[in-house]
Amino acid sequence: MENEKNILEVRNLQVNFKTYAGDVKAIRDVSFDLRKGETLAIVGESGSGKSVTTRTIMGLNASNADIASGTIKYKGDDLLKKSEKEMEAIRGQDIAEIFQDPMTSLDPTMKIGRQIAEPLMVHKGMKKEKALAQALEMMKLVGITDAENRINDYPHQFSGGMRQRIVIAIALVNYPEILIADEPTTALDVTIQAQILNLMKELQDKISTSIIFITHDLGVVAGMADRVAVMYAGKIVEYGTVDEIFYNPKHPYTWGLLSSMPTMDTGGDELPSIPGTPPDLLDPPKGDAFAARNAYALKIDTEKEPPFFKVSDTHYAATWLMHPDAPEVTPPAQIVERQKKYADMQSKLVQTQRTTGPVEEEEEQQ
Amino acid sequence: MAKYLAKRIFYLVLTLFIVITVTFFLMKLLPGTPLTNQAKLSKSQIALIYEQYGLNKPVWQQYLLYLAGAVRGNFGTSFQFSDQPVSYLLSSRIGPSLQIGLQAMIFGVIIGIIVGSFGAMKQNTWVDTSATFVSILGISIPSFVLAVLLQYYLGLKLGWFPIAEWGGFIYTVLPTLALGATPLAESARFVRTEMVDVLSSDYIELAKAKGLSRTGVIYHHALRNSLIPLITIVGPLAVNIMTGSMVVENIFSIPGIGEQFVKSVLTNDYPTIMGLTIIYSFMLCVVLLFTDILYGIVDPRIRITGKAN
Amino acid sequence: MADTVKLPEDSFKPISADDRTALDSEKIAAPSLTFAQDAWRRLRKNKGAWISLIVLAIVFIMAFGSIFVSPHDPNAVNPSYANLPSKIPGIGINGFNGTLVQAGQRVDAYKQAGASNLHYIMGTDYLGRDLFSRVLYGTRISLIIALVATLFDLTIGVTYGMFSGWKGGRIDTIMQRIIEIILSIPNLVVIVLLILILKPGMTSIIIAIALTSWTNMARLVRAQTMELKEQEFILAARTLGERPMQIAFKHLLPNLSSVIIINTMFTIPNAIFFEATLSYIGIGISSPQASLGTLLNDGQKNFQFLPYQMWWPALVLSIIMLAFNLLGDGLRDAFDPRTKE
Ligand SMILES: Nc1ncnc2c1ncn2[C@@H]1O[C@H](COP(=O)(O)OP(=O)(O)O)[C@@H](O)[C@H]1O
Ligand SMILES: [Mg+2]
């Protein structure tokens, strides 16, 4: 499934962690693509393997990690086959990362100007002065006020939101092809969250980078992502465009995630969170890993892992409910409503298409 | 900064004042007088000596006199060497002690940093195991045992270093090694723990994500962050060296204050003991003040202000 | 991608209640470790700590067992057998076979002394006392001093720390200042002063060590108490009107236990070290009593000619210190989830 538009292709990735109790099967056969210029959101509860996926791409996994199988093709080359030296040249240059906690991800004893300039000095061989000048530009770009005077400040002199801006500046200073943002707003206040998300969108346009946006909160995905992959227990269980995932979700896990997401309608009311806990990845269950928490579980879920069923060209879901023989189930009311909205949208779309003539089809082959 | 300094110096003076006061009254509880070491004396002679030492005055007067003297560096007259002022006795002895003490500190901390950071960088390998072993051994073997062993094997048997004498630098090597072993071990241990912590921190991961090489990460980020806290144990290390020097100076016949302290204790030379207690306490306070200030300078997170704590 | 395999008939029936309970129980099968279990697992994995524990057990049994069975009376003077070197039956290595070098020649010291049929595994001292028995005896005294001092120091340190941390505010500030003042004099100096006042002897050594070494414990306990104080279960206990004493014993102490245990493991070797230093200087234990420090001091006098007289006590002292340090390290790693791998 080589594709010109794909800048990153992850195939059949399996990552295990060796621990005292046995192998933790953290990533169990994950495949996805990242297209040029798009934002792909990977969503899932904490512990579902999102961070391990990003670390594997960066080549920064813990020492007890074992990549059992898979390929990660970046511009045609398998990153997993690269030497440490080659990976060093890619990290911070082609692929950059933003981490979750801005309070801890900056070196507390180094001036921030220097921290932003570092990737330039490492990859472009720039002298300190020149790199600092460029770092200053970057600081302005990410919206740090009074940048000239603050370039020699230390991280503790900044607020959490400002620090995350600095981290973003560090990540983007080399105009990377891919930006991995691992829960970049989780540790921030809601208002600051929105600012940071806006900033990321804005910068994505300016420097045309592709983003893998990791989050456990579907709420922040809507305005951010082009496509969404839902991850559960080390597997991707459903993926599709934002609209498809939000308005026509097929996997009961996605239903659960959507129902536990605050919306305008639900307001601040108590949100139903998905009951139960994710399975133990030391010994993942036979069949569908979500079965134990799935109110719609079928007998086969306990026996056989569901394959991906196609919903549309861009939308796939790994649940037996999609099997032609499966009984018809009624999703939770909220989901039904969403699906109804989707149907409306689709029909409207068809109508406008009829009136304005066929638009260029966005064929997105998986 | 000036306000902070003033405050710290005020605390230093207060501490010393309390130390002097407490030692003075403790010493008054002690049995024995300058005459304990003397043969029988006539009543008038005793009276004379009492006057010489000011022992005929009421205790509170003695105390005030002592305090007034101590401020000017005058700690009275030694019981043991009855014509020598304590300050004179000690001033000639402080040099050698400072020399081997500083040497031991520098040697111990530098080697300790090297051992500790290698241990952390090669975590859970044989390098780490040996580094840990060295530091545990250094903590477990008392410096005086090490001193005897070094003196005998490197000094007497192999003849590499002169022993039981005091002269140039070469005479300080063995005592420095003996005294430096514990600081070496302690700082190696401390640096290893700090560095292991630092290496697993988020900002190190970010540094790796920037594309820095392993050495780049260590050199630019890990080292500084794990070495700064080392300043906090310099005070305790200084205590360790002071303690060790009392026995080590004895073993190597170094004319320092540590050796004098033991001598004075064995001869009940109270004025000298008191003088030494104050000097030790003064040195320690200065070290603690100095390290605090240094910490404030090298760690940008600590802002030195006049505010308490 | 859709499946082509033939699936059993009832595959697409909703899951039965039985199946669901089976699924649920599968979930619980995962080994979830409590804090104590987790710590225990990590401690068990630590070979150094285990060996240390065993070594310490042996040392304790031998040192205290020697009250009842000792190869010789540790104080029995026998001048004709003075300064006999180590002789361990069955071992022919020089240094352990009862020979020593005299005037450039290796001679059998036991034959010279007319004691060919005897063997002292650590040799004898200058008064002909069996060194092994004396080392056992000295170890016992050193351990007693260290343990009793540590016990006091524990009581003072924990109480002081808890009180200071719990009260906070002005009282805390003053209590911390007091500690700072104590810490501004090297411990050994204070100990020596106290011993001079109390007259040298075992009791004064214990008191002196106890009175000076609690500061570290107090600081650690205070820091931990201040953290715990803010936690919900303590707040709950307070609002429920439990008395401070009750809270201290029921809620604080159990949560402080790991800090206390770990620090104790470092206080004991410290106390052993202070005792040895004092006795070595000559103001500690005095004859006929012996401790590892006095044995070292005795041995050091003749080190040039009879090195074993110092080597043995030095070895025992270092092994005890090493074992406590390794055990302390092991416990700290076990209790400290940060080092979790
Ligand atoms: N170094 C490691 N050793 C063992 N297990 C690990 C390690 N790192 C991650 N895991 C496990 O892998 C799973 C996925 O973790 P992670 O990717 O961090 O989840 P998240 O989706 O919240 O980012 C978790 O079950 C976690 O316990
Ligand atoms: Mg994560």
Q: Quick one: pLDDT at residue A278?
A: 82
A214 with A352, same domain: the answer is yes
Distance from CA of A279 to the nearest CA of B (A): 27
Interface contact B203-A104, CB threshold 8 A? yes
Q: Which residues contact B252 (CB under 8 A, 6 or more apart)?
A: B147, B151, B163, B164, B166, B171, B174, B175, B178
A112 with A89, same domain: the answer is no
| Residue-wise pLDDT tens digits, B220-248 | 999 999 999 999 999 999 999 999 999 99
Q: How far apart are CA C330 and CA C332, in angstroms?
A: 5
Q: Quick one: pLDDT at residue C22?
A: 66
Q: How far apart are CA A89 and CA A313, in angstroms?
A: 36
B85 with B109, same domain: the answer is no
Q: Which ligand is nearest to the CA of A44?
A: 1
Mean pLDDT of C137-141: 89
Q: Does residue B79 sit within a domain?
A: yes
- The answer to whether C206 contacts chain B (CB < 8 Å) is no
Q: What are phi and psi of C128, to 5 degrees?
A: 80, 15
Q: How far apart are CA C158 and CA C164, in angstroms?
A: 10
Pocket of ligand 1 (CB under 6 A): A 17, 19, 24, 26, 44, 46-52, 62, 64, 281
Q: Which residues contact A319 (CB under 8 A, 6 or more apart)?
A: A237, A238, A250, A251, A252, A288, A306, A309
Q: Does residue A99 sit within a domain?
A: no
Q: Quick one: pLDDT at residue C130?
A: 79
Q: How far apart are CA B127 and CA A340, in angstroms?
A: 65
- In chain B, whose CA is at the least distance from the CA of A96? B209
Q: Quick one: pLDDT at residue A266?
A: 47
Q: Quick one: pLDDT at residue C112?
A: 73
Ligand 2 centroid – CA A230 distance (Å) = 14
Ligand 1 centroid – CA C52 distance (Å) = 34
Mean pLDDT of C235-249: 80
Rounded to the nearest angstrom, the gap between the alpha carbon of residue A241 and the centroid of all alpha carbons in its chain is 13
A83 with A72, same domain: the answer is yes
Task: List the one residue out of B247, B239, B226, B224 whose CA is nearest residue B287.
Answer: B239
Q: Quick one: pLDDT at residue B191?
A: 94
Mean pLDDT of C246-272: 86
Ligand 2 centroid – CA A21 distance (Å) = 22
Confidence bin at C117 (pLDDT 50/70/90): confident
A1 with A23, same domain: the answer is yes
Q: Quick one: pLDDT at residue A293?
A: 84
Q: How far apart are CA A242 and CA A45, in angstroms?
A: 18
The answer to whether C67 touches C140, Cβ cutoff 8 Å, is yes
Complete DSSP assignment for B111-154: HHHHHHHHHHHTTTSHHHHHHHHHHHHHHHS-HHHHHHHHIIII
Q: How far apart are CA A294 and CA A12, in angstroms?
A: 25
B100 with B237, same domain: the answer is yes
Residues in chain C: 341
A238 with A349, same domain: the answer is yes
Residue A275 DSSP one-character state: P
Rounded to the nearest angstrom, the gap between the alpha carbon of residue B35 and the centroid of all alpha carbons in its chain is 33
- The answer to whether B216 contacts chain A (CB < 8 Å) is yes
The answer to whether C130 touches C74, Cβ cutoff 8 Å, is yes
Q: How far apart are CA B97 and CA B246, in angstroms?
A: 9
Q: Does residue B260 sit within a domain?
A: no
Q: Quick one: pLDDT at residue B48?
A: 72
Q: Quick one: pLDDT at residue B37?
A: 54
B200 with B282, same domain: the answer is no
B22 with B106, same domain: the answer is no
Mean pLDDT of B245-258: 90
Query: Out of B207, B212, B301, whose CB is closest to A108?
Result: B301
B278 with B129, same domain: the answer is no
Ligand 2 centroid – CA B214 distance (Å) = 24
If one counts the domains in chain B, the total is 2
Q: Which residues contact B36 (CB under 8 A, 6 or more apart)?
A: B79, B268
Rounded to the nearest angstrom, the gap between the alpha carbon of residue A39 and the centroid of all alpha carbons in its chain is 8
Ligand 2 centroid – CA A156 distance (Å) = 24
Q: How far apart are CA C181 and CA B14, in angstroms?
A: 9
Poorest-pLDDT segment among A130-144, B42-56, B195-209: B42-56
| Residue-wise pLDDT tens digits, B162-193 | 776 777 778 888 999 999 999 999 999 999 98
Query: Out of A89, A96, A104, whose CB is closest to B202?
Result: A104
Residue with tokens 């060790």: B244
B12 with B139, same domain: the answer is no
Percent of chain B at pLDDT > 70 equals: 91
Q: How far apart are CA A86 and CA A350, in angstroms?
A: 49
A1 with A88, same domain: the answer is yes
A2, A9, A82, B165, C313 from A78: Cα distances, Å: 13, 9, 7, 69, 63
Interface contact B300-A109, CB threshold 8 A? yes
Residue C14 DSSP one-character state: B
Mutate which of A14, A20, A23, A24 for ligand 1? The one with the most ligand atoms within 8 Å of its CB, which is A24
Query: Out of B209, B214, B301, whose CB is closest to A91?
Result: B209
- Per the structure, the complete domain to which residue A204 belongs is given by 1-94+176-366
A157, A175, A193 — which closes off a domain? Answer: A175
A123 contacts on B by Cβ (under 8 Å): 211
**Closest residue CA from atom 18 of ligand 1:** A51
Mutate which of A13, A52, A64 for ligand 1? The one with the most ligand atoms within 8 Å of its CB, which is A52
**Is the confidence at residue B305, as pLDDT, over 70?**
no
Q: How far apart are CA B28 and CA A77, in angstroms?
A: 84
Return the CATH number at A25: 3.40.50.300
Q: Which ligand is nearest to the CA of A55?
A: 1
**Closest residue CA from atom 1 of ligand 1:** A62
**Is the confidence at residue C323, as pLDDT, over 70?**
yes
ipTM attached to this prediction: 0.85
A57 with A206, same domain: the answer is yes
Q: Quick one: pLDDT at residue A113?
A: 95
- Per the structure, the complete domain to which residue B139 belongs is given by 95-255
Q: How far apart are the first and last CA of chain B?
A: 14
Q: Which is the closest atom of ligand 1 to the Cα of A55?
A: 17
Mean pLDDT of B35-64: 71
Q: Which residues pair with A27 in a beta bridge?
A: A15
- In chain A, whose CA is at the least distance from the CA of C14? A298
Interface contact A280-C29, CB threshold 8 A? yes
A175, A203, A235 — which closes off a domain? Answer: A175
Rounded to the nearest angstrom, the gap between the alpha carbon of residue B83 and the centroid of all alpha carbons in its chain is 29
Q: Quick one: pLDDT at residue C232?
A: 81
B100 with B147, same domain: the answer is yes
Judged on CB neighbours under 10 Å (0-12, 13-18, 19+), C71 is: middle
Mean pLDDT of C22-36: 58
B113 with B232, same domain: the answer is yes
Whole-number average pLDDT of chain C: 81
If one counts the domains in chain A, the total is 2
Task: List the one residue out of A66, A64, A90, A81 whose CA is nearest residue A7.
Answer: A90
Interface contact B205-A105, CB threshold 8 A? yes
Residue C62 DSSP one-character state: H
- In chain A, whose CA is at the least distance from the CA of B202? A105
* Alpha-helix residue ranges (DSSP H) falling in chain C: 17-28, 35-45, 47-65, 109-112, 131-167, 169-183, 187-198, 202-229, 232-239, 244-247, 253-281, 292-301, 308-335
Query: Residue B66 corresponds to which amino acid?
Result: Y
Q: What are phi and psi of C86, to 5 degrees?
A: -55, 135
Q: Which is the closest atom of ligand 1 to the Cα of A183?
A: 23
Task: List the one residue out of A349, C284, A222, A200 whose CA is nearest residue B266.
Answer: C284
B139 with B223, same domain: the answer is yes
A135, B8, B235, C181 from B5: Cα distances, Å: 36, 5, 18, 18
Q: Quick one: pLDDT at residue A148?
A: 92
B164 with B218, same domain: the answer is yes
Confidence bin at B309 (pLDDT 50/70/90): very low
Which residues make up the environment of ion ligand 2, defined by Cβ < 5 Å?
A 51
Pull the structure tokens for residue A295.
């109110």
The answer to whether C266 touches C213, Cβ cutoff 8 Å, is no
Q: How far apart are CA B222 and CA B200, in angstroms?
A: 10
Ligand 2 centroid – CA C231 distance (Å) = 26
A160 with A231, same domain: the answer is no
The answer to whether C247 touches C217, Cβ cutoff 8 Å, is no
Q: Quick one: pLDDT at residue A35?
A: 93
Task: List the one residue out of A24, A104, A32 whose CA is nearest residue A316.
Answer: A32
Q: How far apart are CA A323 and CA C12, in angstroms?
A: 9
A339 with A197, same domain: the answer is yes
**Closest residue CA from atom 6 of ligand 1:** A17
Pull the structure tokens for residue C66.
């020697």
Q: Quick one: pLDDT at residue B39?
A: 56
Confidence bin at C158 (pLDDT 50/70/90): very high
> Is there a cis peptide before residue A284, judged by omega within 30 degrees of 0?
no
**Closest residue CA from atom 27 of ligand 1:** A47
B141 with B177, same domain: the answer is yes
Poorest-pLDDT segment among A133-137, B178-182, C211-215, C306-310: C306-310
A194 with A166, same domain: the answer is no
Mean pLDDT of C20-44: 66
Mutation target for C interface from A20, A238, A286, A299: give the one with most C CBs within 10 A. Answer: A299
A277 with A341, same domain: the answer is yes
Output the CA torsion C285→C288→C292→C294 (10° steps). 70
Count CA atoms closer than 13 A to C79's CA, side-chain side: 0
A282 with A220, same domain: the answer is yes
Q: Which residues contact C7 (CB under 8 A, 6 or more apart)?
A: A300, A304, A325
Q: Does residue A144 sit within a domain?
A: yes
Q: Does residue B264 sit within a domain?
A: no
Q: Quick one: pLDDT at residue B105?
A: 96
- The answer to whether B299 contacts chain A (CB < 8 Å) is yes
Q: How far apart are CA B163 and CA B154, in angstroms?
A: 9
C19 contacts on A by Cβ (under 8 Å): 299, 302
Kindly give the confidence (pLDDT) of every residue in chain A, 366 residues in length, as a single tens digit, with 9 standing for 90 and above.
455 688 999 999 999 999 878 899 999 999 999 999 999 999 999 889 999 999 999 999 988 999 999 999 998 899 999 999 999 999 999 999 999 898 999 999 999 999 999 999 999 999 999 999 999 999 999 999 999 999 999 999 999 999 999 999 999 999 999 999 999 988 888 888 888 999 999 899 888 899 999 998 888 888 889 999 999 999 999 999 999 999 999 999 999 888 887 665 544 455 567 777 888 888 888 888 888 888 788 888 888 889 899 999 999 999 988 888 888 888 888 888 888 888 888 888 777 766 655 444 444 443
Q: Does the predicted TM-score (pTM) go above 0.90?
A: no
B201 with B114, same domain: the answer is yes
